[in-house]
Amino acid sequence: MPESTEETRSSGGLARRVVTIVWAVVGGIQFVIWLLMSLISMSFKSPFWLWTIGIGGVVLLLWWYLDPARRAREGSE
């Protein structure tokens, strides 16, 4: 268990950064797969990667925005 609130903030920030990087990598891989499918078949396929990018992006945006540590820093400035 973390000893101080600073350790809690840094571990929470690390988790958010890792999840954001994983989201971006997965979205990028899905985009490349979709692009290859469209190019190989020479027809437009529905962009399934938008579901991951869109919904995951909204969830991450809320997670970053509603972070209690960020709100505490803004309140102390």
DSSP H stretches of helix in 1-48:
5-41
As to burial, measured by CB atoms within 10 angstroms (0-12 exposed, 13-18 middle, 19+ buried), residue 32 is: exposed
> Quick one: average pLDDT of 2-21?
73
pLDDT beyond 70 at 7: no
pTM over 0.85? The answer is no
Q: Which of 55, 50, 60, 48 is nearest to 19 (CA)?
A: 60
Q: At what angle do helices 5-41 and 68-76 cross, to 10 degrees?
A: 120
Say what the pLDDT of residue 18 is.
94
The dihedral sign for the CA sequence 37, 42, 47, 53: positive
Predicted confidence (pLDDT) per residue in 16-74, tens digit: 999 999 999 999 999 999 999 999 999 988 999 899 899 999 999 999 888 776 666 66
Say what the pLDDT of residue 6 is.
55
Q: Which two tokens stand for residue 71?
A: 């709100």
Give the domain ranges of the chain: 5-76
